[in-house]
Amino acid sequence: MDIPNPAYVAYLSEILVGSDAIQKRVQALGQEISQFYENAPDLLLVCVLKGGVMFLTDLMRHVSVPHAIDFMAVSSYGAGARRSSGSVRIMMDLGQDISGRDVLIVEDIIDSGHTLDYIIDQLRARKPASLRVCSLLSKPERREVDIQIDFLGFEIPDKFVFGYGLDLDEKFRNLPFIGVAKPGVMIE
Ligand code: IMP
Ligand code: MG
């Protein structure tokens, strides 16, 4: 796909997962999720903003069981940081009650695991019928908290990536592929 202003090139060291590979995997995940929740009466996909938004909108096109969507935003990074600080806060909460519902969290990436660990704790306390995790990416080498990932797109090495929803200092979420950032290069 042509990108009108390829400013990202200066920050890219390699493309890790191309757009076609992402689309194929997302379709397969959608089918897996559809089978798993075939008899779920009240499925809710909870997208973690902002990184999960492109993944959610592609994924839900392949989820054939009726479902609702909702969004929450958390912050776990200091300004400009590329590593999670481990202290997580809810910046925007869900707009609906999740008690008694089948909830699937849709995340962009699980790195240390602190962000998702916190989200899971918060949502579990609201008594959903079930609570599961779908993440596009996982960096297992970086894990500090054990997280069960029920549906996973790709395992990736310990490299900072951007594109397909993931940001490089808040930019380039629009790229259709997942690229590795050049080490040490920051925007501005
Ligand atoms: P964790 O709490 O360390 O697991 O971090 C999870 C969050 O950090 C994700 O939801 C992302 O927003 C962000 N993150 C972690 N690794 C990357 C990366 O390589 N690129 C962009 N964002 C990342
Ligand atoms: Mg992020």
Contact between 8 and 167 under an 8 Å Cβ cutoff? The reply is no
| 106 within a domain of the structure (yes/no) | yes
The predicted model scores a pTM of 0.93
How many CA within 13 A on the CB side of residue 141? 6
> What's the rounded mean pLDDT across residues 4-27?
92
Residue 2 lies in a domain: no
Number of structural domains in the chain: 1
pLDDT of residue 187: 59
pLDDT in tens, 38-93: 999 999 999 999 999 999 999 999 999 999 999 999 987 554 455 555 688 999 99
Q: Does any ligand 1 atom lie closer than 6 A to the CB of residue 168? A: no
Whether residue 188 is predicted with pLDDT greater than 90 in this model: the reply is no
Q: What is the CATH number of the domain that holds 157?
A: 3.40.50.2020
The mean of the pLDDT values for the chain is 92
Q: Does the residue 92 lie in any domain?
A: yes
Question: What pLDDT was estimated at residue 1?
Answer: 58
- The whole-number pLDDT of residue 75 equals 86
Q: Is the CB of 135 under 6 A from ligand 1?
A: no
Answer whether residue 139 is part of any domain.
Answer: yes
DSSP class of residue 61? G
Mutation pick for ligand 1 pocket among 84, 137, 175 (CB with most ligand atoms within 8 Å): 84
Residue nearest to atom 9 of ligand 1 (CA): 109
Give the number of whichever ligand sits closest to the CA of residue 108: 1
* Spatial contact of 49 and 92, defined as CB atoms under 8 Å apart: yes
Residues tagged active-site: 111
The residue range of the domain holding 171 is 9-75+88-181
Residue 104 predicted with pLDDT over 90: yes
